[in-house]
Amino acid sequence: MSGLLRILIIDDHDDVRHALTARLNSAPGMTVVGETADAEDGLLKTRTLRPEVVVVETKRTDGRGLEIVSWIAQSGIGACVIVLTSYPSEWERWAAHRAGAARYLLKDIGSPLLIEHIRRAAASLSSHDYYHSHPTSTH
């Protein structure tokens, strides 16, 4: 990984997406390269923008959150997925891990801890031990 850590945000809540973009863009060494509310657009942006990290809300109004996680993890693109959710669920945490998520975090996580999780997930991905050493974390 060289230069800025490239991040894509897929969340169907505009206010959350915009606030998260501002939080991450203010972190040294990180840049949000794209954001979207739409699942299909999120998959297209993952393919075209090639982010190292994709932040996904799984409790989406379209019900496609875990599908997005699975597609990105299995796509061969090499992006790690961090699930950022409002309401924790042990079943969803397990399902997100099985789908390929590197982290399962709550949206109320503080910026320093969120940034640390993103950096660690990206570092694990670049060292080729992403799935084995950091399968899932909780807040």
Q: Could you please report the per-residue DSSP string of 48-96?
A: HH--SEEEE-SS-TTS-HHHHHHHHHHSSS--EEEEEESS--HHHHHHH
pLDDT at residue 119 is higher than 50: yes
Tell me: the pLDDT tens digits for 18-58? Answer: 999 999 999 999 999 999 999 899 999 999 999 999 999 88
Mean pLDDT for the stretch of residues 50-69: 85
Domains of the chain and CATH, by start? 5-133 (3.40.50.2300)
Residue 64 and residue 39: Cα distance in Å, rounded? Answer: 7
What is the per-residue pLDDT for 65?
A: 81
On whether the CB atoms of residues 78 and 47 are closer than 8 A, the answer is no
